[in-house]
Chains A and B, each alone.
Chain A
Amino acid sequence: MEKDNIIEVKNLHVDIAMTEGTLTPVRGVNFEIKRGETLGLVGESGSGKSLTCKAILGINDKKCKASGQILFNSKESGEMDLLSLNPKGKEIRNVRGKQISMIFQEPMVAFSPMYTIGNQINECTLLHITKDKKKAKEISMEVMRKVGIANVEKRYNQYPHEFSGGMLQRALIAMALVCNPDMLIADEPTTALDVTIQAQILELMKEMQKEFNMAILFITHDLGVVARMCDRVAVMYLGKVVESGDAKTIYANPQHPYTRGLIGSVHKIGGKKEERLFSIEGTVPLAMNLPEACGFYDRCDARIEGLCNKADPELVEIEPGHQIACFNCPHEACKAQRAKAEQMIKEREERETAKAANEPAKSKKKKWGRK
């Protein structure tokens, strides 16, 4: 793995075995994050963003089986594959909360209602920093102050239901930052909050990133937030990254039809009055028994009949640091991939017609034989 990368996710799959069949919400995700950088992971609900980030910490449900590689460049123990660790073991627990921490979508349910906020933040301190209770409490309170919680002495002993949503998110951030992690995973941290509070929380996260010099994996479906927060963006659709690159490049020059749709669906201040907002038809399909085709095929306005529904494009680099997975794109790399896929489809069809021609004869024979 490259030296300045803090994490590299390689070909990550997540399978969920259900009675109806196997669900594969994450189907080969690749991305990497550099130290101190913010990567925005964007996609609709159901695209597999949350599962991807939970897989990094190994905190997915028991039913979820993750495979692939998640390489983490730990300051303490060097390079390690987080997926290969026992999800209940000591090593991964030493990563969780200490080197990589996470904040969640709904702060209101992220704390146990049974214990005080202080207790729950302090738990993290006691686990990872010091066993000295007095010192730990000081450290915890210091971080609470840093994230902008006023009157910490009182707040420390209050229960979650006495906090507002915004305050709880601050407390959650404090809990995530208390061990000074190298990387923070933020799973839609502002979705459940008021718009004004959202801005405050985002500001706070930026400040904290500067102060602690950490990488952030920012998961959201809100492109406005991405523009504000992220250095780079990876767009996910149906369990795959379909486009990734520099945030500015992607905003200015989106290449994948899905990304174009996403950006087109955001309201722009100063845009034409009469212009209707663009919307992508349909919903994300269920990731079960997917045919070998581009996942976006059904909803795509640039699909190529006979190609996109018969082969699934890979992520290829079209310019340095900008990758997309699409056949219908004028760039050289995409063209090459398209030619290859067309060739493959042709061969496969030929094989199938040949097979079909043979088969009826065979089955007839069998029937006769049985009689």
Chain B
Amino acid sequence: MFETILKSVFSAGTFNQMLRSATPVALAALGGAMTEHAGIMNIGMDGMILMGAFFGVLGSYLFGSAAAGIAMVLLMGVIVGLFFALFVVKFRSDEFIIGTALNTFALGLTSFLSRSIFGTAGTKGNPALPTVHIPGLDAIPFLGTVLNDNSLFIYLTWLLVLAAWLFVYKTPYGFWLRASGEKPETLRTAGISPEKMKWLASILCGLLCGLAGAHLSLGQLQGTFAEDMANSRGYIAFACVIFSKANPAVAYAAALMFGFFDAIGLRLQDYISSDLTNTIPYIITIVMMVYVVVRSQRRKRHSSKRLPEMQT
């Protein structure tokens, strides 16, 4: 029996499932990495994803094409990002309050509109994003099955991870973004507005979370919208951001790990309740957080170099 379990856990199906579960989380986490670098604790990603999921389907439903859905998502992503920044950056409201409220607002708005437009059952079967077949990839035995014939955004995510990583660590704008979170006055005295970088981060986050939602509704579920379909993915993405210290590449790896546990939960359903396996990623997140904090504290203690005095 043990062998069958192992076989089903480490099958191509598991890893494919892992990739699929990880992608929406990873996209949102990329967005979260932007706001995190800008020094904003963004709890509101769940709401941003939900908005993306809804408006993607709405666009697809109204205009009969997934591309129109994506266009709508991008527009809404910018609007949501601007909205978030308006409160958090301009009015200096508490980030947690705005994030929580944004989640509830998104739930209320999408459910209200969904019921007003589609009725209580939600909608499905709208024009969806294509899957991509890469010819020749199937020739590779295991990887081929895992990597081929996935929804478009799974591949797009790889590009976006690379782009986000380059943006954050290899362009001047990335330096400004990080400076705006780490020490905003530095940027201000250099003649660059840290607020502008925070606005930019919020907009990018809105966009990426919107794409995460669009992938959920238009990609993964082929044109379906159900109420509260973000299903706490925003929080998992947030955990990935925290774990990765907002490094896009590490955040993607963290998302893959979440996806892996999600996938083996489904595989092991017959042996152990999926309600229990579902808790594993969250438990891991808490353990990771404790680990990250403890490690950084220990590193600080052992550093023998002379550091500047704390300035508050």
- Check if A and B associate: no
Residues of chain A whose beta carbon lies under 8 Å from any beta carbon of chain B: none
